[in-house]
Amino acid sequence: MPRRTLLLLLRFAAAFGLLAWLAAEIPVYQWLERPVVAAAGALLHQRAMESRSLALVQRGEGHWIYVYDLRLGEQRSVVDRPMHAHGFVALVFASLVLATPWPGARRAALLVGIGAPLVFALCTLMLMSDVAGWEAETVAALGVAPLHPGAYRVPLGFVAGLHRTAAAGLLPVVLWALVALRPASRRG
Amino acid sequence: MDERRPARASRVALALRSTVYVLLVVGLSNLLLVEAIDRDVLGHVRSGIASLAAAVLSLVRDDVRAAGQSVFVGGSAVEIVNGCTGVDVAIFLASAVLVYPAAWRAKLRGVALAFAVVLATNFVRVLTLCWLNASSPHAFELVHVYVWPAFISLVCLATLLAWIRSATPRDA
């Protein structure tokens, strides 16, 4: 393996190691999860006789859970689920940015400006896909006919596969590799 | 003006490749959720990994057995679920190989390499997690959530970089 590639990998390993250590020592994943929960909560579908809310709450030392509150007419159900570290994707992205040799202020701003919203959108979509699943379970348990459109107006089926496989963290890695190692354009 | 054309074409090609890559991983990942594939293909992969992991661990411990898709070590059990097979990660890596501009022979070699590297690495991951779950649940949590995801990302990046290097023709 060429020295340049090896250095790149070492920088990525060092950056990710540092960020993962920080995440284990201080509640980085919880901080990253809060805006994701806020966005997924704000996008919940509300209408007459149906209300939904999503929150991230601490239950005991270092134990965080999502609380999904669904009201359908007279019926109410509250679902508790352990927090999922969606922020892993953000940590991978941040490590890639830190590992990349300084590309100049303009390119770095472009990289972060495009990448960060995409990472945030991916994390939010994954959580929304979870919430849609919890609602389907709850509605079935309550014995109510499936609701249309359910928790969200947007179709989320396409995210289910990404999320369930837990490999979504590789998306920024591969996209970064495609950008960084694209074949050079030939000049005439 | 002419000099800008190749650079622009390169950017368009990159955007196209990235889009095709995302569509490919989304499509293939959702394919894994199809009930028939889960039952007839992934079910066998999960129980195969459980049996193989139990066989390897029983070389160093007596209290190991596999039952269906679970590995029992002492009083603890680890269930092999879809996220534990490595197939999902291999799909992410193999898709990158498929969209990268290279000869088809090199791409096929890359796909085989992606599956071999990811499945082998993942098997070591399963072994360590089964072992740690029985001996140190705290270490299990740490290694499961922080260490292995980072290491697998690193292995995938290294494999992809190495493959791109081998698949790209060098100018004389």
- Is A187 within 8 Å of B10 (Cβ atoms)? no
Considering only residues 83 to 142 of chain B, which have any Cβ-Cβ distance to chain A shorter than 8 Å? 83, 88-89, 91-93, 95-96, 99-101, 142
Nearest to residue A97, comparing CAs of A172, A35, A33?
Answer: A172
Preceding omega of A149 cis (within 30 degrees of 0): yes
The predicted model gives A46-50 an average pLDDT of 87
For A102-160, what is each residue's pLDDT tens digit?
A: 777 887 888 888 889 999 999 999 999 999 999 999 999 988 877 778 899 887 877 77
Domain boundaries, chain A: 3-180
Alpha-carbon distance of A121 to A135, in angstroms, equals 21
Nearest to residue A165, comparing CAs of B84, B115, B49?
Answer: B84
Any idea what DSSP says for residue A5?
H
The predicted model gives A44-59 an average pLDDT of 92
Tokens representing residue A87 in the block: 């922020």
More confident residue, A107 or B88: B88
* Contact state of A173 with B157 under an 8 Å Cβ cutoff: yes
Residue B91 with chain A: CB contacts under 8 Å: 165, 167
Nearest to residue B90, comparing CAs of B53, B47, B120?
Answer: B120
* pLDDT in the model for residue B126: 94
The strand pairing partners of A69, in sequence order, are: A53, A78
Q: Which residues of A touch B (CB under 8 A)?
A: 1-2, 5, 8-9, 12-13, 16-17, 20-21, 23-24, 85, 88, 92, 157-162, 164-167, 169-171, 173-175, 177-179, 181-188
Alpha-carbon distance of A37 to A54, in angstroms, equals 7
Considering the entire predicted model, what is its pTM? 0.82
- Asked whether the predicted pLDDT for residue A184 surpasses 60, the reply is no
Candidate from B30, B32, B96 with C-beta closest to A178: B96
Alpha-carbon distance of B172 to B161, in angstroms, equals 21
- Asked whether the predicted pLDDT for residue A165 surpasses 60, the reply is no
The predicted model gives A24-40 an average pLDDT of 93
Query: Nearest C-alpha of chain A: how many angstroms from B167?
Result: 11
- Asked whether the predicted pLDDT for residue B163 surpasses 90, the reply is yes
Domain boundaries, chain B: 4-36+76-167
